[in-house]
Chain A
Amino acid sequence: MKKISCSIAQTWITAYVDGSLDAKSRYSLEHHLLYCPQCRSVHVATAGLLSRLKEDVPSEPGETFWRQYDSSLNALLREKEIDRDRSELSWNVVPPALAAFALILAFGLGLVSRLSVPTRSLDTLSPQVVEELDRLYGPSLEEEISLRGGGLTIAAANCDPLGDDAIVPWFEVEEDAYHFPQWDQTSGPTDRQSSRRLDGRVASLDKIGSALRQDVPHRPECKQRLDASLPRS
C-alpha cells in the first residue's frame, strides 16, 4: 500500500465522502486517516458539511402546486401550439396569395399596355407590326372609314377601299341621338339622349353588317368584302 501525504489525503477526502474515489485510493486514504488526526478532522468536517447540504432540501410541494403547475404549463403549451398552427397556416396561404397577386398584376399590366398601345407613334413601326397592332387593337388612322346610317355612325378599321384582304376586325359605333330604336329590344344602350362610342365587339355583327351595307354603295370593294365577311341580317 502506498503511503500518502496530508495534502493528497485532503484532496481525496471530498471524493471519498462523495463516493467517487477509486478503490485503491480509498484504501490508501482510509489507512492515512487512521493515524492522522488532522486529516480525520477534515474528513469529519467534509462529511458533516455534505450531510447538512443534502439534508437541507426543500420539501416537495403539495398537490395544489402541481395541479396549478400542470394546468398553467398545459395552457401555455396549447397557446404555443395555436401560435405555431397560425404561423404554419399563414405560410401556407402566402404562395397562393403571391400567385394571385402576380396574376392580378400581370392582368393589370396587360390591360394598361393594351390601352396604351394605340397612342404610340406608329411611324416608327414596320408595316407588318402596324397591321398586327391594327388587327389586335384597332385601326391606324389612314385605314379608318366612317359610315353613317340607321342611327349609327360606324368607324370600321381595315376596311380598305383599295382592296387588300382586310375585313372589319375592329369597329366603333356611335349611336346617334333619337335614332336606332332597335336597341330597345336588345341589351343595347338605353340612354339615347347622348351620342357615344360602343365597343364594336359587343355590338351584334349582323346589325353592323346591315348598317355598313346600307351605307357603302359608293365603296363597292368594301361592300364586297363586307358581304363576304359579315353575316347577312
Chain B
Amino acid sequence: MKDEELVKQFRNGSKEAFGELVRRHSRPLAMMILRIVRDEEETRDISQSVFLRAYEAIPRFMMASSFKTWLYSIALNAVRDHLKRRSPVIACDAPDELPDPSQTPAEQLEKAHQYAALRKLVEELPMKQRLTLQLRLYEGMDYTEIAQVLGGTAAGARSNFFHAVKTLRGQVKSNHEKD
C-alpha cells in the first residue's frame, strides 16, 4: 500500500496506518539525521520529535509532494534548528568507521585527523550548502528532491552543492599548504 493511502486511512481514524508509516520511515529517517548530526542520542531525540510533529501536522498535509518528502522536510527543519543551537563538534573526534587493518596505526591516526578536519570544514559551511551536500552525498537525492525538502529550486540546490564543494576544495588545499 502506498504512503498516501496510509495517510488517508490515518485521517479517517486508523491508528495502525500511522504505525505503518512510522515502521516504513523511522529507520531511514534516523540514519539520515545521524549522518548529519553524528550523535545517536541527538538522532533519537530529533527523530522522535519529527514523528510527533508529523502526527500533529498530518491533517494539514496537502499531499502536494510525497509523504517521504514531506516527512524529510520536517526532519531537515528540525535538524537545522538543532544544528543552529548546538555548539560545534570538537574537530579531533575519532573516525566513525572501523580502522582499516591494511593501514598502520600512524596512517589510521592521520586519516582520522583528516576526517575530523573535513567534518569541521563541513560544519562551517552555510547551513543550506551543508545540508545540500549531505543530502546529495549520503542520501543520494537528486537536486529536485533536495529542492523539495529544503525549499528553493533544483538549480539553486545544484548551485549550493557546487559552492559547497568549491569552498571545501579551497580550504582543504589551503590547509594542506599550511601543513
Say how far B138's CB is from chain A's closest CB, in angstroms: 6
Which residues in window 144-165 of A have CB below 8 A to B? none
Pairwise interchain contact B169-A60, C-beta atoms closer than 8 A: no
- Chain B residues in 8 Å Cβ range of A11: 162
Is residue A140 within 8 Å, beta carbon to beta carbon, of the partner chain? no
- Chain A residues in 8 Å Cβ range of B136: 18
Pairwise interchain contact B52-A80, C-beta atoms closer than 8 A: yes
Query: When each residue 37-75 of chain A gets 1 if its CB lies under 8 Å from chain B and 0 otherwise, what string results?
Result: 000001001100110111111111100011011101110
Is residue A81 within 8 Å, beta carbon to beta carbon, of the partner chain? yes
Give the CA-CA distance A77 to B138 in the complex, in Å.
Answer: 28
Q: How many residues of B contact A (CB 8 A)?
A: 43
Pairwise interchain contact A77-B22, C-beta atoms closer than 8 A: yes
Pairwise interchain contact A53-B97, C-beta atoms closer than 8 A: no
Give the CA-CA distance A55 to B48 in the complex, in Å.
Answer: 27
Give the CA-CA distance A55 to B172 in the complex, in Å.
Answer: 16
Is residue A5 within 8 Å, beta carbon to beta carbon, of the partner chain? no
Say how far B51's CB is from chain A's closest CB, in angstroms: 6
Say how far B147's CB is from chain A's closest CB, in angstroms: 14
Determine the main DSSP class of B at the interface with A.
helix
Q: Top 4 nearest A-B pairs by Cβ distance? A: A58-B96, A56-B115, A14-B165, A14-B162
Which residues in window 71-94 of A have CB below 8 A to B? 72-74, 76-77, 80-81
Which of A18, A61, A65, A69 touches B161 (beta carbons < 8 Å)? A18
- Chain A residues in 8 Å Cβ range of B114: 52
Pairwise interchain contact B38-A58, C-beta atoms closer than 8 A: yes
- Chain B residues in 8 Å Cβ range of A56: 95-97, 115, 118-119
Give the CA-CA distance A54 to B138 in the complex, in Å.
Answer: 7
- Chain B residues in 8 Å Cβ range of A60: 31
Query: When each residue 129-146 of chain B gets 1 if its CB lies under 8 Å from chain A and 0 otherwise, what string results?
Result: 000010011100011000
Q: How many residues of A contact B (CB 8 A)?
A: 32
Given A45-B169, A58-B96, 19 other A-B residues pairs in contact with their CB atoms under 8 A: A14-B162, A15-B158, A15-B162, A45-B173, A50-B137, A55-B97, A55-B115, A56-B115, A57-B35, A57-B96, A57-B97, A59-B97, A60-B31, A66-B27, A73-B22, A74-B19, A74-B22, A77-B22, A80-B52
Is residue B168 within 8 Å, beta carbon to beta carbon, of the partner chain? yes
Give the CA-CA distance A144 to B89 in the complex, in Å.
Answer: 97
Say how far A38's CB is from chain B's closest CB, in angstroms: 13
- Chain A residues in 8 Å Cβ range of B96: 56-59
Known contacts being A53-B122, A57-B35, is A73 close to B48, with CB within 8 Å?
Answer: yes
Known contacts being A59-B98, A69-B47, A76-B52, is A53 close to B15, with CB within 8 Å?
Answer: no
Query: When each residue 113-127 of chain B gets 1 if its CB lies under 8 Å from chain A and 0 otherwise, what string results?
Result: 011001100100000
Pairwise interchain contact A73-B51, C-beta atoms closer than 8 A: yes
Give the CA-CA distance A20 to B55 in the complex, in Å.
Answer: 36
Give the CA-CA distance A195 to B119 in the complex, in Å.
Answer: 98
Say how far B113's CB is from chain A's closest CB, in angstroms: 12
Give the CA-CA distance A43 to B35 in the complex, in Å.
Answer: 26
User: Looking across the interface, which residue of chain B has its beta carbon closest to that of A42?
Assistant: B169
User: Looking across the interface, which residue of chain B has its beta carbon closest to that of A76?
Assistant: B48
Give the CA-CA distance A41 to B166 in the complex, in Å.
Answer: 13
- Chain B residues in 8 Å Cβ range of A61: 34, 40
